[in-house]
């Protein structure tokens, strides 16, 4: 989690994302700000923390329960008392909440832990953000898993219908953050939905896209079946981090829900092709089979099941 203060105005534009990152402009502010980045040890969290650290005018604190290191402080995010003390002591203007149990299979195996982290922690942060004494803007990172994949593309006002437990917990977190009881309260509460992520990570297994690099380079003879049914929109975490920096520069109220997504559709099967060419691995080294209807049947019963496409439509216009 990051805490930030910023009062300058800037420009927000949608950033095209593809399998190779494009540079995005950053506008610097002369106003010092403070920000908590909660979940600073994850793939997105690390990118967000680094982006704010690189900016002038920000005082940033990173929080993580797992893999704290250096300036990243170890805190149990599920401890409401600890979260309250952190907020009261740092007095942030912004809290970027990236922490989550993002693995659908793990969430299904330990539902209480997933529900606590994905829904109850955001509820606590939303309540704290509306404090009369120390309000702040809360950005809750959510997911395209809140949709069923039957009516893409999904706008910000589309009705969620998650197909798995992970999606249900993230939707519960959204509802907690956007609770109507906060409408007349101080502070801002924003949900930012993003699709599958990739980018710099401590381990390739931290990302559903990065891990495909390990599969490509696996010369053990093991065969993998690649999903050629569900369309994903891989989005670089560095682009999202820079978008969040620009977002905090806006001196205006934000809409309650935002979408940020890459624009290029891929199945996992299709992601493998440029990876194979990049690493100069023969196609025979990886089984790129496409089982068709059998895969659809498995997808419907898997903990990570989703519809054929959950593409997000931002509806966000670029304005000064």
Active site amino acids? 166
Walk along the chain (320 residues) and give the pLDDT tens digit of each residue: 555 544 333 333 333 333 333 222 222 222 355 555 454 457 898 899 999 989 878 888 888 766 556 677 777 878 889 889 888 888 899 999 998 888 889 999 999 999 999 999 999 999 999 998 889 999 999 999 999 999 989 999 999 999 999 999 999 999 999 999 999 899 999 999 999 999 998 888 888 899 998 888 887 877 777 778 888 999 999 999 999 999 998 888 899 999 999 999 998 888 888 888 888 876 665 655 555 544 454 445 455 555 667 889 864 433 33
Q: What is the pairing mode between strands 2-4 and 188-194?
A: unpaired
What is the dihedral sign for C-alpha 188, 84, 72, 116?
negative
Count of C-beta atoms within a 10 Å radius of residue 37: 35
Please choose, from the candidates 130, 104, 117, the residue with its C-alpha nearest in 3D space to the C-alpha of residue 173: 117
DSSP string, 156-182: TTSPP--SSHHHHHHHHHHHHHT-GGG
| Domain ranges for the chain | 2-202+233-259
Q: Say how far residue 83 (Cα) sits from the centre of its chain.
A: 20
Asked if 141 and 258 count as a contact pair (C-beta separation under 8 A), the reply is no
Query: 301: part of which helix (H) or strand (E)?
Result: helix 293-301
What's the CATH number for 2-202+233-259?
Answer: 3.40.50.720
């Amino acid at each position: 989690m990051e805490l930030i203060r910023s009062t300058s105005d800037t420009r927000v534009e949608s950033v095209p994302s593809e399998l190779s990152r494009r540079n995005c402009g950053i506008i610097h502010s002369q106003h010092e700000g403070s920000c908590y980045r909660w979940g600073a040890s994850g793939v997105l969290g690390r990118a967000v923390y680094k982006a704010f650290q690189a900016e002038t005018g920000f005082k940033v604190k990173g929080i993580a329960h797992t893999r704290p290191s250096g300036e990243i402080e170890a805190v149990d995010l599920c401890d409401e008392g600890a979260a309250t003390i952190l907020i009261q002591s740092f007095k942030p203007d912004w809290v970027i909440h990236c922490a989550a149990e993002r693995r659908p299979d793990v969430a299904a195996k330990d539902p209480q832990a997933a529900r606590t982290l994905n829904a109850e922690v955001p509820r606590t942060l939303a309540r704290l953000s509306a404090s009369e004494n120390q309000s702040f803007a809360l950005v809750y990172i959510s997911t395209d898993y809140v949709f069923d994949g039957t009516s893409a593309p999904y706008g910000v006002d589309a009705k969620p219908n998650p197909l798995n437990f992970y999606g249900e917990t993230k939707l519960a977190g959204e509802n907690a953050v956007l609770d109507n009881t906060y409408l007349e309260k101080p502070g801002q509460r924003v949900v930012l939905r993003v699709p599958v992520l990739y980018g710099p990570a401590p381990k390739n297994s931290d990302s559903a896209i990065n891990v495909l690099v390990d599969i490509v380079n696996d010369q053990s003879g093991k065969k993998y079946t690649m999903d050629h049914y569900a369309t994903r929109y891989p989005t670089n975490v560095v682009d999202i981090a820079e978008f969040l920096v620009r977002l905090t520069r806006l001196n205006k109220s934000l809409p309650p829900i935002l979408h940020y997504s890459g624009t290029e559709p891929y199945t996992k099967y299709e992601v493998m092709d440029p990876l194979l060419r990049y690493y100069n691995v023969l196609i025979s080294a990886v089984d790129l089979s496409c089982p068709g209807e059998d895969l659809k049947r498995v997808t419907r019963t898997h903990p990570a099941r989703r519809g054929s496409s959950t593409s997000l439509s931002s509806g966000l216009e670029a304005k000064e």
